[in-house]
A and B are shown apart, each in its own frame.
Chain A
Amino acid sequence: MSDALLKVSDLRLSFSIEGTRTPALRGVSFEVGRGKVLGIVGESGSGKSVSSLAVMRLLHGTTAKVESGSALYEGRDLFKLSEREMRSIRGGELGMIFQEPMSSLNPVFRVGDQIVEAIRAHRKLVRKEALEEAIRLLERVGIPDPRERARAFPHELSGGMRQRVMIAIALAAGPRLLIADEPTTALDMTIQAQILDLLRELKGELGMSIILITHDLGVVADIADEVAVMYAGKIVEHAPIRELLERPRHPYTRGLLASLPSFRDNLTKPRLPTIPGVVPDLRSLPTGCAFAPRCAYAQDVCRDVDPEESRSGGARFRCHFPQESELQ
């Protein structure tokens, strides 16, 4: 019996683009342990955001269609719940925060009232008690003068403060899993450090699990216990953070890490190592491994056969020619 809080298996999802079904997720499986942070890393179009939106069933009203797969949360398949059951879990046990806090907050309501609304949607408290709870939450997420700030409108707060308000709203219902989709991407560097620090604290204090979706390997290295690297709708590598950073098996993961100027002695090199080519178009994926056209290790088999998942050490990966050496 696994001790995963959330277990997503073989999730396949497609969007209808100009009348044709285009795969966005091509068999995605991952688990989030209790009290753990799973980082999901990927570039645009890799499926990192769509995975979590699908799990939260927030793709209604789009052309998205879940073709197959399951998302077991505490043993219950989220895809099989009624919309009513899902609504009580979403925003309750499953919280979510997004990249742009301004567009997630209602501009015409005071932030305190928005937190009160979230509290009362999930807990039976009278307004006054809920407001006290909201102020306590604002204080918890590090907002100075919480009583006064509760009366502010979103536009009166800075980007970092707004993201703290979003976190307070997510915390209102006492979530057990927080999905954070690029929560610091729109923030300045020194503010990003504050928010990551806050998430780390909350995880420790509340035993909350977190899925952190980001394009930034540095952010993941900072906070995640495990990392899933996505490419063209698949998880190509899934490993404990340290193992992934030191001994990445998949050539894509290796290429990404090796191309960062901050990696090892890259600063002294006249040119940065690069991954050639561009991120593939999901409408015209190659047969075989989607990364093969950009991969230095690719052989004929890679262009013909999409690799199954293999394991080594604590890592799972999809590659015919996984690299075992430490990344230099």
Chain B
Amino acid sequence: MSHEPLLKTEHLTKSFVARRDVLGRPKRYVHAVRDISIHVEEGETLGLVGESGCGKSTLGRAILRLHEPSSGRVFFRGKEITTLSKRELRPLRREMQIIFQDPHGSLNPRMTIRSILEEPLKVHGIAESKSELDDRVEALMKRVGLRPDQLDRYPHEFSGGQKQRIGIARAIALSPSFIVADEPISALDVSIQAQIVNLLRDLQDDLGLTYLFIAHDLSIVEYLSHRVAVMYLGRVVEEGPARELYEAPLHPYTKALMSAAPSPDPRREKKRLILHGDLPSPLDPPSGCAFHPRCPIARKGICDRDEPPLRTVVPKRKAACHFAGEF
């Protein structure tokens, strides 16, 4: 019996037109996401970390076809979805949902919470009668820790954390199996973040959800993820089980990222690996390994010339570095 992950991408690439010529023809492209092959097992959380512009959000959206991929393929339950027409894609939308970073901007201010939550149910013809809809949305509110008697209020009457709960309720309204959570807690107050993290985890346990969890906060990703993929300038540079990746990074960028994260635990050792230089522009990526201008172990003649492939370094762990693990 062959095993199929719930979600898989093969060489997924998404480019945007960066510049057009006088006739409006594309002149230059920026490769936001390049040659990404990842998979997410059913019921697991794959954490996706990286700094701004690394393509993590674009990847999440390309998987859901909210951005049309430029090339490469996406498989859901073993079925290729990149070739499906919009109409054919529709039933799959029930299965694949997204939670956005900004809970304020992603809720229509003119709609009551009830109509926000009813909308997907109506569109997909899941609940028809008024009483059925009422039951459903009330259950959703309770599920995410809100009171059903708040259903007829408007988004502005809720706090940031409560709005994110509404965003989560909308995402689970259609009983999806896969959710892309795009920085769902980074806009929230610190004392509220843990509440939402716990909610996401409870929902995963109770509903068997599979998450692609995108964030720049490394500790929250470590807490929620089974496996983690680290992105740099449009590519995955390291991927592996969360615990191992955090404890002994294989890629020097992962190592730098981990050491840059400030920790409030005085017992934690503070040894800093501070990178020099800025993130390069994806418009004009460096030659060879994109990380080589900032890399503490880069070697001339190798790293500035050849782009290292993402390869298995130790079982279940991959890294895209000529000298993975050698530092």
Residue positions of A touching B, CB distance < 8 A? 43-44, 144, 158, 160-161, 188-194, 196-197, 215-222, 242, 245-246, 252, 255-257, 259-264, 266-267, 270-276, 278-279, 294
| A190 in contact with B191 given A196-B262, A221-B262, A278-B162 (CB within 8 Å) | no
Q: A261-B219, A275-B195 known; 8 other A-B pairs, CB under 8 Å? A: A189-B257, A192-B262, A196-B262, A221-B262, A262-B219, A262-B264, A267-B219, A271-B201
B194 touches A278 (CB 8 A): no
Task: Give complex CA distance A219, B26 in Å.
Answer: 43
| Smallest CB gap from A44: residue in B | B189
Looking at B1-9, B101-109, B270-278, the stretch in contact with chain A turns out to be B270-278
B264 touches A259 (CB 8 A): no
B173-227 residues at the A interface, CB under 8 angstroms: 189-195, 197-198, 201-202, 216, 218-220, 222-223
Q: How far is the CB of A301 from chain B (nearest CB, A)?
A: 23
B193 contact set on A, CB distance < 8 A: 259
B264 touches A218 (CB 8 A): yes
| Smallest CB gap from B201: residue in A | A271
Q: 23 A-B contacts, Cβ less than 8 Å apart?
A: A43-B191, A189-B257, A190-B257, A192-B260, A193-B259, A193-B275, A194-B275, A194-B276, A196-B262, A217-B190, A221-B263, A245-B264, A246-B266, A259-B193, A259-B194, A260-B264, A261-B219, A267-B219, A267-B222, A270-B201, A276-B195, A278-B159, A278-B162
| Smallest CB gap from B270: residue in A | A222
Per CB-CB distance, the 4 closest pairs between chain A and chain B, nearest first, are A218-B262, A262-B219, A261-B223, A259-B194
Q: Does B269 contact A (CB under 8 A)?
A: no
B189 contact set on A, CB distance < 8 A: 43-44, 215, 279
A191 contact set on B, CB distance < 8 A: 51, 278-279
A221 touches B159 (CB 8 A): no
Q: Does B150 contact A (CB under 8 A)?
A: no
The one of A194, A263, A267 in contact with B274, judged by C-beta atoms closer than 8 angstroms, is A194
A263 touches B265 (CB 8 A): yes
Q: Does B52 contact A (CB under 8 A)?
A: yes
| Smallest CB gap from B242: residue in A | A267
Task: Give complex CA distance A242, B265 in Å.
Answer: 9
Q: Does B234 contact A (CB under 8 A)?
A: no
| Smallest CB gap from B261: residue in A | A189
A221 touches B266 (CB 8 A): yes
The total number of A-B Cβ pairs within 8 Å is: 128
Which of B192, B193, B202 is most buried by chain A, counting CB atoms within 10 A of its CB?
B192
B265 touches A256 (CB 8 A): no
| Smallest CB gap from A255: residue in B | B191
A194 contact set on B, CB distance < 8 A: 274-276
A273 contact set on B, CB distance < 8 A: 194
Q: How far is the CB of A296 from chain B (nearest CB, A)?
A: 13
Q: How far is the CB of B28 from chain A (nearest CB, A)?
A: 18
Q: Does B256 contact A (CB under 8 A)?
A: yes
| Smallest CB gap from B279: residue in A | A188
The one of B160, B190, B260 in contact with A190, judged by C-beta atoms closer than 8 angstroms, is B260
Q: Does B240 contact A (CB under 8 A)?
A: no
The one of B51, B219, B259, B265 in contact with A245, judged by C-beta atoms closer than 8 angstroms, is B265
B51 touches A216 (CB 8 A): no
Task: Give complex CA distance A261, B242 in Å.
Answer: 14
Write the B252-294 contact mask toward A (1 if CB under 8 angstroms, else 0): 0000110111111111101010111111000000000000000
Task: Give complex CA distance A217, B191 in Å.
Answer: 12
B51 contact set on A, CB distance < 8 A: 188-191
B198 contact set on A, CB distance < 8 A: 271-272, 274
B191 touches A259 (CB 8 A): yes
| Smallest CB gap from B220: residue in A | A261
B190 touches A43 (CB 8 A): yes
Task: Give complex CA distance A267, B263 in Å.
Answer: 13
B162 contact set on A, CB distance < 8 A: 278
Task: Give complex CA distance A218, B268 in Å.
Answer: 11
B191 touches A272 (CB 8 A): no
Q: How far is the CB of A198 from chain B (nearest CB, A)?
A: 10
| Smallest CB gap from B280: residue in A | A158
A160 contact set on B, CB distance < 8 A: 278
Task: Give complex CA distance A60, B139 in Å.
Answer: 49
A278 touches B192 (CB 8 A): yes
Task: Give complex CA distance A252, B191 in Å.
Answer: 9
Q: How far is the CB of B270 from chain A (nearest CB, A)?
A: 8
Q: Does B161 contact A (CB under 8 A)?
A: yes
B159 contact set on A, CB distance < 8 A: 278-279
A274 touches B195 (CB 8 A): yes
Which of A43, A189, A219, A278 is most buried by chain B, counting CB atoms within 10 A of its CB?
A189
A270 contact set on B, CB distance < 8 A: 201
Write the B104-145 contact mask toward A (1 if CB under 8 angstroms, else 0): 000000000000000000000000000000000000000000
Task: Give complex CA distance A263, B278 in Å.
Answer: 29
B297-322 residues at the A interface, CB under 8 angstroms: none
Q: How far is the CB of B243 from chain A (nearest CB, A)?
A: 8
Which of A222, A261, A263 is most buried by chain B, counting CB atoms within 10 A of its CB?
A261
B191 touches A193 (CB 8 A): no
B194 touches A274 (CB 8 A): yes
Q: How far is the CB of A295 from chain B (nearest CB, A)?
A: 12
Task: Give complex CA distance A158, B194 in Å.
Answer: 32
Task: Give complex CA distance A218, B260 in Å.
Answer: 11
Which of A158, A246, A264 is most buried by chain B, counting CB atoms within 10 A of its CB?
A158
A261 touches B197 (CB 8 A): yes
Task: Give complex CA distance A274, B197 in Å.
Answer: 10
Task: Give complex CA distance A274, B270 in Å.
Answer: 26
B264 touches A217 (CB 8 A): yes
Task: Give complex CA distance A191, B53 in Å.
Answer: 13
A189 touches B260 (CB 8 A): yes
